[in-house]
């Protein structure tokens, strides 16, 4: 247990010293500010691009638009940035050989994996929820009195989806000695999720729903209970990924 | 101009974050002149003028090991 805490601390310090935490955090803060702003400006931007002959009637932006921006930006930009930042989790250690010393001195191998997962999840948690709070404050400021349904559940779903991607990235990063291997592995995983969308039957279990259906949840078109099975699959993937990363790393030559 | 005053509470913090990001990156570029690729005279404008993406690319891909 002590080695777990010490190694997690070392991980966090490393994220700080390599500016990775700084970059992730500032980008998420910036996204938090940008979401309500883009939602507010979107009709004006569209208008300026339209030729004058075409008259379009755009409804005034609502708080739902602001949250739509949140879910769009976090899934497209935020998760992308997070995955790139975490992509070298294990492979950088292989490349530099920095783990050899610690493991030969008696650091349990599973501790390494668990600490890596904890540290990256902590960073994701902090950045994600900061972004959420900022968007929330400004959405309340710009659209006073407007509320959306199931906001907490909906954001929690996307948060879990992020953790799932981190855990999948952990397997990828443990498997390959090159950090691009981990990236490709996660990319492949996401591609498979998108392919599974084609089949209606499987799509009911597709964890991608947790990142895609958020707006339907907010507008009341979908009840959270309908996403029970994707949620279950998502949690299973997280647990299985961690276990298999530990198993892979146990056999890995470092 | 009046219509934009309403947005100042968002635009100002966004601007400040941008400045912090750029300045931190510029200081790092100048202080650590060994990069994985590129040169100082390339990195400084990249970091200063390409919004949020410049500093991101620098810290993640361009920064050399200390």
* Tens digit of each residue's pLDDT (9 = 90 or more) over A178-217: 888 999 999 999 999 999 988 888 888 999 999 988 889 9
Shortest distance between the Cα of A74 and any Cα of chain B, in A, equals 15
Confidence class of residue A242 from pLDDT cuts 50, 70 and 90? very high
pLDDT (tens digit per residue) in B24-60: 999 999 998 888 888 888 899 988 888 888 999 998 8
Q: How confident is the model at residue B2 (pLDDT cuts 50, 70, 90)?
A: low
User: What does the pLDDT read at residue A203?
Assistant: 86
> Tens digit of pLDDT for each residue in A94-138?
888 888 888 888 889 999 999 999 999 999 999 999 999 999 999
CB < 8 Å to A97, chain B: none
How many of the other CB atoms lie within 10 Å of CB of A43? 16
Which is more confidently placed, B34 or A168?
A: A168
* Contact: B18, A30; criterion CB under 8 Å: yes
Closest partner residue to B59 (CB to CB) among A19, A30, A37 is A19
Query: What local confidence, expressed as pLDDT, does residue B33 receive?
Result: 84
**Radius of gyration in angstroms for the set of CA atoms belonging to chain A, rounded to a whole number:** 20
The per-residue pLDDT for A136 is: 94
What DSSP state is assigned to residue A227? Answer: G
Q: Do A30 and B11 touch (CB under 8 A)?
A: no
Q: What ipTM, to 2 d.p.?
A: 0.90
d(CA A230, CA A99): 36
> Residue B63: helix, strand or coil by DSSP?
strand
Q: How many A/B residue pairs have CB atoms within 8 Å?
A: 43
**Token reading at A36:** 């309500």
More confident residue, A144 or A47: A144
Structure confidence at residue A52 (pLDDT): 72
Contact A78, A28 (CB under 8 A): yes
Nearest CA to CA, how far is B35 from chain A (Å)? 14
- Looking at CA atoms only, how far is residue A228 from chain B in angstroms? 36
Q: Is the pLDDT of residue A220 over 90?
A: no
- The residues near A94 (Cβ < 8 Å, ≥ 6 apart) are A177, A254
Arithmetic mean of pLDDT, A228-251: 95
Looking at the predicted structure, is the pLDDT value of residue B64 above 80? no
What are the start-end ranges of the E strands in A123-170?
Answer: none
pLDDT in tens, A75-92: 999 999 999 999 988 888
B14 and A33 in contact by Cβ < 8 A?
yes
Contact yes or no for A29 and B17 at CB 8 A: yes
User: What average pLDDT score do residues A145-173 get?
Assistant: 92
CB A70, CB A35: distance < 8 Å: yes
pLDDT at B1 over 70: no
pLDDT of residue A159: 96
Identify the band that residue A144 occupies on the pLDDT scale cut at 50, 70 and 90: confident
Cβ of B10 within 8 Å of Cβ of A138? The answer is yes
Please report, for residues A45, A87, B45, the alpha-carbon distance to residue A239 in angstroms, rounded to integers and kept in the order given. 44, 19, 44
What is A94-134 written as a DSSP string? HHHT-HHHHHHTT--HHHHHHHHHHHHHHHHHHHHHHHHHH
**With b meaning 16 or more CB within 10 Å and e meaning fewer, what string describes A49-76?**
eeeeeeeeeeeebbbbbbbbbbbebbbe
Listed in sequence order, the residues at least 6 apart from A40 whose beta carbon sits closer than 8 Å to its beta carbon are A61, A66, A142, B7
**Residue of A33, A41, A140 to mutate, interface with B, max B Cβ within 10 Å:** A33
Q: Give A-chain residues touching B60 at CB under 8 angstroms.
A: 20, 23, 84-85
Rounded CA gap, A133 and A123, in Å?
Answer: 16
- Annotated domain spans of chain A: 2-251
Chain A residues with CB under 8 Å of B21 CB are 23, 26
Best A16, A20, A23, A44 residue to mutate vs chain B (most B CBs within 10 Å): A23
pLDDT at position A7 over 90: yes
Q: What average pLDDT does the structure give for chain A?
A: 90
Whether A26 and B60 lie within 8 Å, measured CB to CB: no
The yes-or-no verdict on residue A230 having pLDDT over 90 is yes
Question: Angle at CA A137, nearest 5°, toward A134 and A139?
Answer: 105
Instruction: State what percent of residues in chain A have pLDDT above 70.
Output: 100
How high is the pLDDT of residue B26?
Answer: 92
């Amino acid at each position: 247990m002590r080695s777990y805490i010490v190694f997690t601390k070392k991980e966090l310090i490393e994220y700080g010293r390599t500016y990775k935490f700084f970059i992730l955090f500032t980008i998420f803060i910036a996204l938090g500010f940008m979401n309500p702003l883009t939602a507010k400006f979107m009709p004006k931007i569209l208008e300026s691009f339209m030729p004058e002959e075409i008259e379009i009637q755009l409804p005034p932006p609502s708080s739902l638009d602001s949250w739509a921006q949140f879910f769009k930006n976090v899934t497209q930009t935020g998760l992308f940035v997070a995955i790139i930042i975490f992509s070298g989790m294990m492979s950088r250690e292989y490349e530099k050989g920095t783990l050899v010393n610690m493991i030969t001195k008696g650091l349990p191998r599973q501790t390494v994996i668990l600490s890596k997962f904890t540290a990256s999840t902590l960073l994701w948690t902090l950045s994600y929820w900061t972004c959420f709070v900022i968007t929330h404050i400004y959405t309340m400021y710009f659209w006073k009195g407007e509320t959306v349904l199931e906001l907490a559940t909906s954001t929690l779903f996307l948060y879990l989806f992020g953790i799932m991607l981190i855990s999948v990235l952990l397997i990828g990063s443990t498997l390959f000695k090159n950090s691009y291997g981990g990236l490709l592995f996660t990319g492949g995983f996401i591609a498979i999720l998108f392919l599974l969308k084609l089949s209606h039957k499987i799509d009911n279990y597709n964890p991608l729903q947790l990142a895609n259906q958020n707006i339907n949840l907010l507008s009341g078109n979908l009840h959270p209970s309908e996403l029970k099975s994707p949620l279950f699959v998502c949690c299973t993937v997280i647990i299985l990924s961690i276990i298999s990363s530990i198993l892979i790393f146990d056999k890995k030559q470092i | 101009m009046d219509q934009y005053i309403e947005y100042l509470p968002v635009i100002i913090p966004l601007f400040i974050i941008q400045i912090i990001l750029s300045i931190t990156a510029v200081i790092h570029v100048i202080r650590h002149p060994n990069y994985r690729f590129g040169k100082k005279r390339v990195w400084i404008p990249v970091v200063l003028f390409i919004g949020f993406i410049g500093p991101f690319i620098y810290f993640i891909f361009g920064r050399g090991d200390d």
